Structures are given as C-alpha cells and as structure tokens.
Amino acid sequence: MRTVTLTLPIDGMSCAACATRIEKVLGRLDGVDASVSFASESVQLNLDTDKQTLSAVTQAIAKAGFSVPQASMELALEGMSCASCATRIEKVLNRLPGVEAVVNFASETVQVHFPEGTQSTGALIAAIQKAGYGARALTDEADNDAAQVRHAAQYRHELKIFLLSLLLTLPFLLEMLAMLAGEHHGWLPRSLQLLLATPVQFYVGWRFYKGAYSALRGGGANMDVLVALGTSMAWGFSAWVTLAGLTHLHVYFEASAAVITLVLLGKLMEARAKGKTSGAIEALIRLAPKQARVERDGGFADVAVSELVAGDIVVVRNGENVPVDGVILSGQASFDESLLTGESLPLVKAEGAQVFAGSKSQDGMVRIRATGVGGRTQLAQIVKLVREAQGSKAPIQRLADVISGVFVPVVVAIAMLTFAATGWLMGSWTQALVHAVAVLVIACPCALGLATPTAVMVGIGNGARRGILFRNAAALETAGRLGLVVLDKTGTLTEGRPELAGVIAGARSENEVVALAAAVEAGSEHPLARALLAVAQARGLSLPASHGFLALPGQGVLAEVEGVGQVKIGEPAWLGVALPEAAQAWARQGCTVVAVAIAGELAGFMAIADKLKPSSRAAVAGLQALGIRVVMLTGDNQDTAAAIAQEAGISEFKGEVKPKHKAAEIEAYKKAGLKVGMVGDGVNDAPALAVADASFAMGAGSDVAIEAADVTLMHGDLLHLLDAIRLSRATLTKIRQNLFFAFIYNTLGIPLAAFGLLNPVIAGAAMAMSSVSVVSNSLLLRRWK
C-alpha cells in the first residue's frame, strides 16, 4: 500500500453543512480518508494510490457541487532526443498524484495541470530529472530575449562540435570514394582510422552515451540508445580487428564516424527548422515595445514597459507601437491591429476609444490612460493562448505516441535477431554486425514524434497571425472534420448593431413607449438595449428611474419603472399577445419584433432591424462549397428567421429556438452521426457552444478570450470561420503526409537494413534527413493563405 497525504483547497463551500456533505461523498470512495475544514476551505486527504486516484477524488467533489481549484505550469525540457523521450517524461509526470502532463517534442516543453497546492515546480523538475532529463520553469513574461540568447549560444556550440566531427570524418569519406572507384584496399592506414574515429566516437558522440545512460537509468530507451549501441558495435569491432592485427577482416570506422556526423547534421538542421515553427509567437512578442514614454511629475520620461502600472498616462507618437491596453485621453491616430484582430485596414481612433498593446500608431499622436499592463494586456493573453495551443496534443497523435513508447525496445530486439539470423545463415558474423548496426541506426522515431506537433505549431501560429485563435490542437483538428455548422443570427450573420425601424403605439404616445422601454433596458447589455438607448438619446427623451431589473434569456426583460409600475419588453409569445398585420410585415422583412407591456397592459410593438453582414452570404456559400451543411438557429420568430436565412443563402433554419434548446438541437445532430460546429457570440449561446464538437466565438477587440469557445474569430467575420476550417484541413493534410512519411520510412527502412540492403552510413543519412523532411513539410504551411 502506498499512501500519500495531501491538502486540497475547495471552492464553493458556504456553510459547515457543505463540509459534512463533502466528507460523506469522499468517505464512499475506497482508499480515501478525508477530513474537511470549513474554516480553511480545504480537505486533508490520506490517499491509498493503489486503490484510488486523485482525479477520482476531484471528480467526486465536483459531482457534489463544489470544485478544486486547478493550477497549471509550463516547463522547458532539456535532453530529449526523440519521441520516446517525450513519452517517457509524460509517463513519469502522470504517475504523480493528480498530474496531467502533455509533452510537446517539437517545442521541447511540457504543460502540467494539477490541483492547486498539490505540486510544486521543484517537485515536478525533480521527477523529470530522476527520469534522466533536465527541466526549468518558463516565466509568463512575453520577453523571450534570454531564451533566444541561450538557444543561439547552444546552436553555436553544437555547430562547432559538428564541424570538428566533419573535419575528422572527411578522410573516411575520401576512403569510401576510393573504394567505390575500385581501390578495395583503400589508402588510409587502419591505425590512422582508429586515431580519427576515436574522438568522434567518444568526444563528439559523448552526448549519445550520456543520453542513453540517463534514459536507461530512468527505465526507458530512446534514440541515443540506438545510436550509441550501433556506433559502439561498429567502432568496437573495428578497434579489436586493428589492435589484434587481423588484416583479413574488414573494419568499419567510417560507419561509426559518418553515422555520428550525419546524425549531428540532422539535429542541427532539425533545430533550425523547428525554430521557424514558433515564428508566430516571436512575431507577436516583437509587437510589444521595451520602452514607453510616460507623463510623470509634469514632464515626460522613458520607462521600461515592465515598470508600468494601470493608470499611467502613456504618449504614443506616430509610427510607435502601443505598449499597453488603454483608453485614448486626447489626440487621434490610425492603428494597425492586423496581427491582433486579423483586420487588414488601419482603424482611426480618437478620444474615448480603446487601444491595445502591440498595435501600431500611424498618422497621429495620442495620450493613453493604461488599463492593462504586462501580462494583463490582450497581446499577452494572445501569446499565452497561442503558446498553450501549440503545446497541446492533437487526438491524431495518439497512434504515434503508442508506437513511440515501445519502438526502441522493439528495434533493439530486431537488431539482435538480425545479427543472430544473418550470422547463422550467411556464416559471416562480420556481415551480421553491419546489418545489425544499420537496423539500429536507421530506426529513429524522431520523424514520428515530429510529424504532428510541428504541423500543429505552424497551423496554430498561422491562424494567430490572421486573427483566428485556436484554444488547443484538438480544436484545430476537429474544425477540419466538421460536416455541419450551426449559425446564430444576431452578431454572427448580422451586424449585431440593431436599429429601431418602427413603433406601433396604443393608448400611449410613441415617444412615451420608447422612453419607458429604454428606462428598462438601461440595465441591459443586449444589442437591443443599446439601440433603444441610442434612439431615446437622439430624440432627447428623459428616462424615468427604474429598479428590479430582471433578464430572462430568450424571452425578455422587465423592471419596475418609477410612476408607471412594471414594464416588460420581449417576445410577443412571452407576453401572451399575437402580432398585428403591420408587425407581421416587419417580421417578413427580417426585422425582430418585440412587444411592450406597461402595468400589465399591452402598450405597443417595436421593430428592430439588424442588417446582414456584407460577407455573410459569401461565407455561407464558401462553407457549402466545402461540403458543409449550414443551419441557422435563432430565437426570432419564423418569419424573421426565413427572411434572414433567404438573404444569407441558408436553406435550413429554425426560428423561435431558445438558448437552452439550441444545445438540444446540436445534440440531436450529433446523435445522427454528424461532426457539428457552433458559431455564436459566446453569451446566450454558451450552452450550445459547450456541447458542439467545435465551437467558434465571434470576438473582437476586448472580447478576445471567450471562455465557452474552442476557436475565437477575433475580427468577428464569418469569412474567418471559412479560413479557420480551410486552415484546419490544410494542417490535417500536412499531419497525414508527415505520418505517412514517418511510417513508410521505418516500415521500409528497417527491413532493408535487416536484409543488408542498406549500408550503415546511408542508413544514418536517411535517418537524419527523415526528421528534417517532416519539419520542412510542416513549414510549407506558412505559405497557406
């Protein structure tokens, strides 16, 4: 029995009875001894890990109506040489109580999630080090200068080592050319070959021995094991033949030296190519300036951006990038926000407008009051979101992970079988050694490990540059598999800026009905509320005071208005009234019709017009051209829904669908075997967004991170939905190509090597180039438009 003691914080407890309830729920779990404290809002656990998992405990707490706060951390990894290393680190971390870890071999990082207070950075790093690898914490700061300097220095060091290896290996290449020309005895003395090959084997190749030792000590095996074992066999045999003076036997110093040199070359090219996959992150980070011009003590001072605080007055001159999120106090300028929102044209902004860190000022100077600084800016949120998405794992990668986990031991077994079978059948143990070395050298799972994450990193980065933010790799993959897309109407197909198109008033005047309705809507953020308030302001109407505001999603709003009593505004069906002919005509024209009741009596009807976005019809046609069914679900009446659907080119639609019923409609489509995407505003549509296979939120500016959605379309344009699906399909195509190349490489390469059809040197070159080809193929996604 292995028991661990943990203290978990708990959110949602409101009284001592809550603590008792949680204790009862946990008491039913086998292997759990729990003591809940209402005062400290925590639970003390003694957990028998042989009988129970921490995940089961947190799930039980969630089912009881409470929650355990979750923490997350990102660590940079060192010492990984192939996909098997990534699999090994994941297994080690996931054995820790409550830990869920995802390793990205391409970016050499791991994302770790765990219940708050159960793990520390030191404990996680220690577990990784025990497995034979290195790790360090990544800061949340956008500035990656130190990391870039470190990587540049490491690359220069690796380049020097490779050049030394190449210099020592060149004579062997000349020897091989001489043998190909018919000089079977060669011209390089064996003693000199030994002298040249030894530093390559043990100085240049020390990294492979070190990596192999660390992996084996941690209970795993990786590419380093294959390279170290294969080259050691070739060098060791050749050294024995040379020192023993066995001139009738061949030596294979050129194989060991050339393999190590070619593997290093492949790693250098791979590192250079992998660096380009994070180009989107670097482009976003470069948007943030290092210095800001700030008003202080009656003058101006240049201050490091890291020292700014909310409330500072920042001056942004023509051609400068904005260092903070804020509101313009004075001045006017055009702002290029293309890398933040995907909007290609600069936006003119003046006093009162919001500006965002990373946007570039053009044709003017402004004074800004900072509202978001450092990690609280929209730019920092985007960088964090993109980095997390690039580090996540796509479902399509599961097969590659399973294979990578058992690949190296299987290859070693095949190499041993090849050695034994070749030696017995051919009667030449020297030839058997060559075949076994070729098997070990060619069978590297690097290409397999890089196939998916490199394409995901480039695809997600490409989307970020165009204002399409994927929350994770699963969202990127699912978007490309959609067979049906459900569209909301308001703010998705339409502008989301409704205008009052007409009023039918009864006993009261039109202005009185508008004023009372606006008084109620003053407490709402709905687009209808903004339309009514704008009309009331334009007409110079005074609004009476209101209180007791209540919003009923999909139905309407009500409030007590001073002097008249309760006022209701909403769906005619909610108020129990039928539409007159004039109101029905509005609905047939695509207007939303709402009824107004004052003190329990019908006071009139209002028509709200919301224009279709100019791009909506083209986007719908584009989706249909991709073979995707398009359905519109809206809470508006059937006549209004029919008018908007016809204008947008949508043949399938449903009106009078409440927000809670949209989720049920999507569930029905899913049960019919369809992959369903939902596009909405992320507020009333949250339930539907949550149940869809892939959800898209129409966002812009300050609404960059809508929690309910898998994908945020920052420009709020349906054409970006089309782009997101096309980008997802292009990324999936690259992943399939990469996996095909990786699988076919090993499927063909290992048998060829086993049957002696591949020289170890050729095998080493093929192994090195396989990883480079996969990464290079992924980089072609950067050309996607």
Q: Which DSSP helix (H) or strand (E) runs through 666?
A: helix 659-671
Measured CA to CA, the distance from residue 386 to residue 463 in angstroms comes to: 9
First to last CA, the chain: 57
Dump the DSSP string for 151-168: HHHHHHHHHHHHHHHHHH
- Token pair recorded at residue 499: 């205008």
CA atoms within 13 A on the CB side of 258: 23
Residues 626/725, Cβ–Cβ less than 8 Å:
yes
Q: Residue 708: what pLDDT?
A: 57
Cα 218 off chain centre by:
30
Residues forming the active site = 488
Cβ burial, residue 413 (10 Å; 0-12/13-18/19+): exposed
Q: Residue 9: what pLDDT?
A: 84
> Assign residue 328 a region: left if phi > 0, alpha if psi is -120 to 50, beta otherwise?
beta
Dump the DSSP string for 369-426: EEEE-GGGSHHHHHHHHHHHHHHS--GGGHHHHHHHHHHHHHHHHHHHHHHHHHHHHH
Residues 293/300, Cβ–Cβ less than 8 Å:
yes
Tokens 């709200």 belong to residue: 608
Cα 15 off chain centre by:
39
Nearest C-alpha neighbor of 568 from the set 548, 588, 582: 548
Helix (H, G, I), strand (E, B) or coil at 67: strand
Measured CA to CA, the distance from residue 726 to residue 785 in angstroms comes to: 9
- In 457-589, DSSP assigns E strands to 468-470, 484-487, 499-505, 546-552, 556-561, 565-570
Q: Which DSSP helix (H) or strand (E) runs through 653?
A: strand 652-654
Give 379-382 contacts, CB < 8 A, sequence gap 24+.
Answer: 379/142, 379/284, 379/287, 379/288, 379/340, 380/140, 380/142, 380/288, 381/704, 381/705, 382/284, 382/340, 382/464, 382/469, 382/704
For residue 77, list its beta bridge partners.
Answer: 135
Cβ burial, residue 27 (10 Å; 0-12/13-18/19+): exposed
Q: Residue 283: what pLDDT?
A: 67
Measured CA to CA, the distance from residue 292 to residue 316 in angstroms comes to: 8
- Token pair recorded at residue 349: 């902004």
Measured CA to CA, the distance from residue 377 to residue 356 in angstroms comes to: 7
In eight-state DSSP terms, residue 544 is: P
Nearest C-alpha neighbor of 490 from the set 662, 342, 361: 662
Residues in the chain: 785
In the predicted model, residues of the chain with pLDDT beneath 50 are: 140-143, 700-706
In eight-state DSSP terms, residue 345 is: S
Nearest C-alpha neighbor of 125 from the set 151, 143, 101: 101
Helix (H, G, I), strand (E, B) or coil at 92: helix
CA atoms within 13 A on the CB side of 311: 2
Residues 132/79, Cβ–Cβ less than 8 Å:
yes
Give 538-545 contacts, CB < 8 A, sequence gap 24+.
Answer: 539/511, 539/514, 541/511, 541/514, 541/515, 542/515, 543/515, 543/518, 543/519, 544/515, 544/516, 544/519, 545/519
User: For the segment 498-518, what is each residue's pLDDT rounded down to a tens digit?
Assistant: 778 788 887 788 888 888 888
Q: Residue 706: what pLDDT?
A: 47
Nearest C-alpha neighbor of 172 from the set 246, 256, 106: 256
Measured CA to CA, the distance from residue 564 to residue 600 in angstroms comes to: 10
In eight-state DSSP terms, residue 756 is: T
Dump the DSSP string for 676-715: EEEEE-SSTTHHHHHHSSEEEEE--GGG---TT-SEEETT
| CA distance readout (Å), 38 to 13, 45, 146, 401, 718 | 7, 15, 45, 43, 49
- Token pair recorded at residue 715: 């420009």
For residue 725, list its beta bridge partners.
Answer: none
Residues 755/417, Cβ–Cβ less than 8 Å:
no
The residues near 451 (Cβ < 8 Å, ≥ 6 apart) are 400, 735, 738, 739, 741, 742, 774
Q: Residue 629: what pLDDT?
A: 94
